[in-house]
Structure 1
Amino acid sequence: MSNSPIRIGTRDSKLAMWQAHTVARLLRVQNIEVEIIPVKSQGDIDTTRPLHELGTTGVFTKVLDDALFNNEIDIAVHSLKDYPTQPPAGIVLSAHLEREDPMDLFIPKGDTSFLNDRESVSTIGTGSIRRVAQWLHHFPNHTTENLRGNVQTRLIKLKESNWSGIIMASAGLRRMELVPENAVALDWMIPAPAQGVVGITHREGDVIALDACKLLDVELSRITSTVERQFLRTLEGGCSAPIGALARVSGQKIFFVGTLHSLDGKSEVKVEDSANLEDWPTLGEKFALRAKQNGGDAILSTLK
């Protein structure tokens, strides 16, 4: 190892800093010196427009890619669900930390009886086209309004709004120790690919950074994240689409569910299957091609 500390690049939100400090702690346990370098991304600066209007691919991550290219940092820490499925040439995704709960939670403002009535009428806050599409598929008479910002900001916006509730990732709330007591688990909502996973990237050819990342890579996280992100990459084809994917490993089997919706939630294509764990490197693509054949191409053509 080099005598210089490994410079860890991160966004400067509280959750991103938590992730970076977690990586720093894990590296220090391995007797590796580190320093944390926070940067601000376009996605953090512009919190009013919906993410898909900013062009979701790389909106939170490009600034860290640039910092790697400019040799300002040695590794970059990401919420992997925000990171493009194809890293820029010269950058390698080399570590996947242990996954937190990958699911979404509904944070209600008050009464939740409407959640048992498919015909109910309510307004829900979320900035994710995936969550919007799945929610409207489940509750066709609801409306949604844009919700952006960090974990703390979103909880404040809920209090100040006239919404019935908001949808948030369980992982971020758990990491910030901010899961409200009245949170409702959305076991029917398929999460974003790699939701709950912290990923680490480094510059291609940087052996010291690679060696450090290898120490932190969790095989189970790598397998499930790769299957889910491959499903996304094969379907997406450069457009922002409401795509969910979740892979779970049990014994020597991998269980997968993936969804693609129209933006209004009216059309749904779902793939649910299992396979032998040893076949994981090609499963994401295989399931995505099946989704395309079963009506996914028709949905994707309306999105482009």
Structure 2
Amino acid sequence: MAKTIRIGTRDSELALWQANTVQKSLEELGYKTHLIPVKSTGDIILDKPLYELGITGIFTKTLDIAMLQGDIDIAVHSMKDVPTILPKGIVEAAVLKRANVQDILVHKGLGFLENEGTIATGSLRRKAQWLHKYPTHTVVDLRGNVNTRMQKLNNNSWNGAIFAAAGLERIDLKPDNYIDLDWMIPAPAQGAMLVVAKEEDEYCRKALSNLNDSPSEICVHIEREFLRELEGGCTAPIGALAQIKENIIYFTGALFSLDGSDKIEVNKEVKIEDVDHLGKICAQEILNNGGHELMKEIKAEIG
């Protein structure tokens, strides 16, 4: 018997946009749905950097619990927020077609770039890469949903703030005063949306299989395997990007020190049929090239 699929989501404007996109796609396929917004711990505690909260999957845990308790059937996430190991009983059901993967700088004029400046971001990855390129700059912490972060930028004297292009584009919040940071390696799975369901829920898993985009799924799985092998989670400055062009996978991954002074990078090109364990192989290359020592330093600094 057909059931109403209860879609769990965070209650920010971007999260609701993502959930509504999934809802519309399912309803176009003839499924009945109902949206259930919930507030995550990561949305409530905004006065501490994410790594200080010490909770893996801080934006997804509330929805995981709601699903396992039977309050929702599926959950929609920005895939870069999802831990590389899902809770027992929850599985990936669909990776939607990936959007823009780039980071962008929203700024108040670019004269500061070659001098001293202050940039805001809550991401260790963005902070490390910015300081690697602009070591004389100061980077301050910036938390909250995209609307909150944009407002904080406007209310402070910072020169700019770093955002994921996809998030701003999805809710039509991308301003004119931005530049693409095409030199910055994005977060693993940046720009991708993931829908998860209970492993035992064949009805929802079958429904969501219609939304899965295979090329996007291949690329984000390589990136997340790279992240998992490096033991990054949310606590290390790790960037990764896999792209498919004419049946060739192009992969770039890097690990940075927290202050951006050290960078260990790997680049690979492989045929799509040889993609198995590519993320793991690239991560091992980083670890064997000084990454083991760098990860120990990062963990010691973060505590």
Bin the TM-score by the shorter chain: over 0.9
- Tell me the percent identity: 49
| 1:113 pairs with one of 111, 119, 131 | 111
The secondary structure found in structure 2 opposite 1:6 is strand
The equivalent of 1:290 in structure 2 is 285
Alpha-carbon distance change, 239 to 99 in structure 1, aligned in 2, over 3 angstroms: closer
Number of equivalenced pairs: 299
CA–CA separation in structure 2 for the residues paired with 1:107 and 1:239: 23
1:188-211, Cα deviation, whole Å (9 max, x unpaired):
000100001000111111100110
Residues 1:73 and 2:64 are matched in the alignment: no
Q: Distance in 2 between matches of 1:296 and 1:178?
A: 37
For 1:136 and 1:252, how far apart are their aligned partners in 2?
Answer: 35
Task: For 1:231, give the aligned amino acid.
Answer: F
CA positional deviation for 1:264 = 0.6
Pick from 253, 278, 299 the counterpart of residue 258 of structure 1: 253
Cα separation, 2, equivalents of 1:262 and 1:248 = 25
1:237, CA displacement in angstroms?
6.0
| 1:214 maps onto 2:213 in alignment | no
Give 1:53 shift: 1.0
Q: Structure 1 residue 294: deviation in Å?
A: 1.1
Alpha-carbon distance between aligned partners in 2 of 1:124 and 1:56, rounded to the nearest angstrom: 25
Preserved contact between residue 80 and residue 197 of structure 1 (Cα < 8 Å): yes
Counterpart residue type for residue 246 of structure 1 = L
Matching residue's letter, 2:221: T
Partner of 1:270: 265
Runs (5+) with no aligned partner, structure 2 = none
Q: CA deviation at 1:257?
A: 0.5
1:39 matched residue in structure 2: 38
Q: Does 1:244 align with 2:243?
A: no
Counterpart for residue 142 of structure 1 = 137
Taking the aligned partners of 1:56 and 1:98, their CA distance within structure 2 comes to 28
1:1-304 to structure 2, matched below 5 A, reads 2-55=1-54, 57-109=56-108, 111-115=109-113, 117=114, 120-236=115-231, 240-304=235-299
User: Which secondary structure state, in structure 2, belongs to the residue aligned with residue 201 of structure 1?
Assistant: strand
Q: How much has 1:281 moved relative to structure 2?
A: 3.0
Residue deviations 1:200-259 (CA, integer Å, cap 9, x gap): 111111100110111111001100100000000000166711000000000110001001
- Report how far residue 303 of structure 1 moved: 1.8
Displacement of 1:56 in angstroms is: 5.2
Distance apart, 1:5 and its partner CA: 0.6
TM-score by length of 2: 0.96
Q: Cα RMSD over matched residues? A: 1.1
Q: Distance in 2 between matches of 1:44 and 1:79?
A: 14
Shift of 1:76: 0.6
- Counterpart of 1:21, as a letter, is N
Structure 2: which amino acid aligns with 1:189? M
Does the Cα contact within 8 Å between 1:56 and 1:240 map onto a contact in 2? no
Unaligned runs of 5+ in 1: none
Look up the SS of the partner of 2:276 in the other structure: helix
